[in-house]
Amino acid sequence: MPELDILSQSAELKFRDQAQALALSEKLELLFREIGREITEMHVCGSHEQAIARYGLRSVLPKSLDLIMGPGCPVCVTDLPEVDEAVVLAQDGCIIATYGDMVRVPGTAKSLAEAQAEGGRIEIIYSAMQAVDLARRSDAEVVFFASGFETTAVATAAIVLQGDLPKNFSILSAHKYVPPAMEIVAQIPQTRIEGFLAAGHAATITGWGIFEKQVERYGIPIVVGGFEPLDILAALVRLTELIRNGEQVVENMYPRCVTKEGNRVAQEQLWRVFGTASGRWRGIADIPDGNLRLRDEFAHIDARRKFEIDLTRLRENVPSALAQQCVCGAIMSGLATPADCTLFGKECVPENPVGACMVSSEGTCKIWHQYGGHPDL
């Protein structure tokens, strides 16, 4: 049984093993020859896309496999009004502490970087604790504009539960929860996604069991995969086998890191602090339960409840003509690639990004701009 071969390999994949990479790529080629048609598979993680692009994996994939990145960049899916909230708070004199990539993400009127140029106080942090320390050292209100998926949200939850937060500290949560977004994207008829490659480290927290309901509901198999080129190839082989066999199941090809139950300590903290809320993911859709918001118990540190955030003053601003040509939303929904965008690499470059996907190191456009997306070999 070739399937079993692949499964047993996943426990002991070796890095940079050319022979094994070749074997996996040949196996994938054979599978596609057997299947005899085009298949679209989607991954949902910026780190996966970085690895795929960095190691030029698309050059060893069968021509009839369309491997696309979905909504896997938390910075990119932060919606314009969420950025606007942070901009308004900065204009009102709060210090905004946020992870680096969030600073240049465009809002309706402006980015935090532009708010900073106009005198706003924006601090780049690398950890939630640094935001708390900033508040301890300051008399001003410090708002932690918190972004990221589950893996990062658990860190925010931990600082909330650790207690003893300074009175001038609050959180503006732009945290997102990936599983519901996968469901929405799976339902977009034009995407024709037949399998998902789920992100290894998010699943470290949530466990792979969380995907079982989704597979039951939509009949699209899901394989959890790691970030090594061989991890990714092995996961794609397995996913393609499941598609060929018509097996609608979840499989874990990253057992080195991921269990069925996940990290229960982290999950418990995550859900004690956050509840899910529906909200828009930039350019994609309204995602039911896709946003993580602080529970009522933590209203006193929720910037949305602590401050009156008046967005009306930004309303007159219309996105620029260039921004209106941006196809980030279609890219994150799996309907387009950066190559389909007229701005990509011309008007829109990392130094001067038009859309969010060119801002973040997890955005498809920035990754393709650095590494190239689809090597012609």
CB of 47 to other proteins, least distance (A): 5
Per-position x/- string for 193-232, each x denoting binding to other proteins as judged by CB under 8 A, each - no binding: ------x-xx-xx---------------------xx----
Q: Among 25, 46, 144, 220, which residue sits at the site for other proteins (rule: CB under 8 A)?
A: 46
Residue 351 near residue 97 (C-beta atoms within 8 A): no
Sign of CA dihedral 295, 297, 298, 302: positive
Return the residues of window 244-303 that contact other proteins according to CB under 8 A.
Answer: 256-257, 263-266, 269
Separation CA 33–CA 313 (nearest Å): 58
| Nearer to other proteins (CB atom), residue 127 or residue 317 | 127
* Cα distances (angstroms) measured from residue 324 to each of 355, 356, 360: 9, 13, 19
Total residue length of the chain:
377
Cβ of 298: how many Cβ atoms within 10 Å? Answer: 20
* Gap between the Cα atoms of 368 and 344, Å rounded: 10
Which of 42, 154, 197, 331 touches other proteins (CB under 8 A)? 154
97 to 116, contacts with other proteins by CB under 8 A? 99-101
Rounded least distance, CB 262 to other proteins, Å: 9
CB of 173 to other proteins, least distance (A): 15
Q: Does 47 bind other proteins (CB under 8 A)?
A: yes
User: Six-digit token pair at 123?
Assistant: 């601090």
Site stretch for other proteins (CB under 8 A), options 24-32, 59-67, 274-282, 364-372: 364-372
Our CB check for other proteins shows the closer of 63 and 126 to be 126
Residue 375 touches other proteins, criterion: CB under 8 A: no
Near other proteins by CB under 8 A, which window of 122-130, 240-248, 289-297, 311-319? 122-130
Of 153 and 331, nearer to other proteins (C-beta) is 153
Q: Please, which residue, 134 or 243, has the CB nearer to other proteins?
A: 134
Considering only 62, 120, 148, 290, the residue that binds other proteins (CB under 8 A) is: 148
Q: For other proteins, which is the closer residue by CB, 51 or 314? A: 51
In angstroms, what is the minimal distance from the CB of 55 to other proteins? 10
- Binding residue for other proteins, selected from 285, 371, 372, 374, defined by CB under 8 A: 371
Q: Phi first, then psi: give them for residue 84, nearest 5 degrees.
A: -55, -40
Q: Looking at 126, 139, 189, 351, which residue binds other proteins (CB under 8 A)?
A: 126
9 binds other proteins (CB under 8 A): no
Contacts of the segment 304-311: beta carbons below 8 A, 24+ positions apart = 304/85, 304/172, 306/170, 307/89, 307/92, 307/94, 307/141, 307/170, 309/85, 309/88, 309/89, 310/88, 311/81, 311/84, 311/85, 311/88
Is 16 a binding residue for other proteins by CB under 8 A? The answer is yes
Instruction: Please give the size of the binding site for other proteins, defined by CB under 8 A.
Output: 49
- Residues 19-38 within binding reach of other proteins (CB under 8 A): none
For other proteins, the closer of residues 129 and 249 by Cβ is 129
State yes or no: residue 129 binds other proteins (CB under 8 A).
yes
- Smallest separation (angstroms) from other proteins to the CB of 134: 11
Question: Could you list the residues that contact other proteins (CB under 8 A)?
Answer: 14-16, 45-47, 50-51, 54, 74, 99-101, 126-130, 133, 148-149, 151-152, 154-155, 157-158, 161-162, 199, 201-202, 204-205, 227-228, 256-257, 263-266, 269, 361-362, 366-367, 370-371
